[in-house]
Amino acid sequence: MADASARRGGLSIGELGRLTGCKVQTIRYYEQIGLMPNPGRTAGNQRFYDARHVDRLAFIRHSRELGFGLDAIRELLDLADDPDQPCERADRIATSQLRAVESRIARLVALKGELERMIAQCQGGRVADCRVIEVLADHSRCQADHGADPG
């Protein structure tokens, strides 16, 4: 079992990936940019991982799922590595992320409203008279403030 291997200090990168749901290339990338500590090496120079790697990768993955950027994750990991310091910086980072999420939600609500208007105003006739095509072709007809974020 992978958990037992992690406690013994013997997970391969593939096992670490399967255990955490993270791709091998992503694990290597996190190592390359310094988010993950360097793994131990076998006599044959194969990487091996232990429970601290599993925990750290789980932290990174959960942070990514919550939308934190790599710089924020790096700072949060630095804080986690020094648990006796005040959590004020962690609170600031999380508050900043919350504001970014709220801003994206507001833009998505506006986009939803615009899409609903476009669809409601479409008469179902010819494409030449289609409100959906008209609004997409002429941004000035769009009532939503969705900025330049294409995705």
CB 54 within 8 A of CB 68: no
CB 144 within 8 A of CB 111: yes
- For the cut 60, the answer to whether the pLDDT of residue 149 exceeds it is no
User: Distance between CA 137 and CA 104 in Å, rounded?
Assistant: 24
Say which range, 16-20, 50-54, 84-88, 120-124, has the weakest mean pLDDT. Answer: 120-124
3-state secondary structure of 112: helix
pLDDT: is 47 or 32 the higher one?
A: 32
Give backbone dihedrals phi and psi of 144, rounded to 5 degrees, phi first: -90, 140
Share of the chain above pLDDT 70, in %: 85
DSSP code string of 56-111: HHHHHHHHHHTT--HHHHHHHHHHHTSTTS-SHHHHHHHHHHHHHHHHHHHHHHHH
Q: What is the pLDDT of residue 141?
A: 65
Query: What topology does CATH give the domain 2-68?
Result: Multidrug-efflux Transporter Regulator; Chain: A; Domain 2 (1.10.1660)
User: Distance between CA 133 and CA 60 in Å, rounded?
Assistant: 41
Average pLDDT over residues 61-83: 96
H or E element that contains 137: helix 131-137
Average pLDDT over residues 55-83: 96
Distances, alpha carbon 58 to alpha carbons 8, 73, 139, in Å: 18, 12, 42
User: Distance between CA 69 and CA 4 in Å, rounded?
Assistant: 31
Q: What is the pLDDT of residue 7?
A: 43
Task: Please state the domain extents for the chain.
Answer: 2-68, 89-141
Share of the chain above pLDDT 90, in %: 62
Reported pTM:
0.74
The residue type of 75 is E
Say which range, 36-40, 50-54, 92-96, 120-124, has the weakest mean pLDDT. Answer: 120-124
Q: What is the pLDDT of residue 138?
A: 78
Q: What is the pLDDT of residue 25?
A: 97
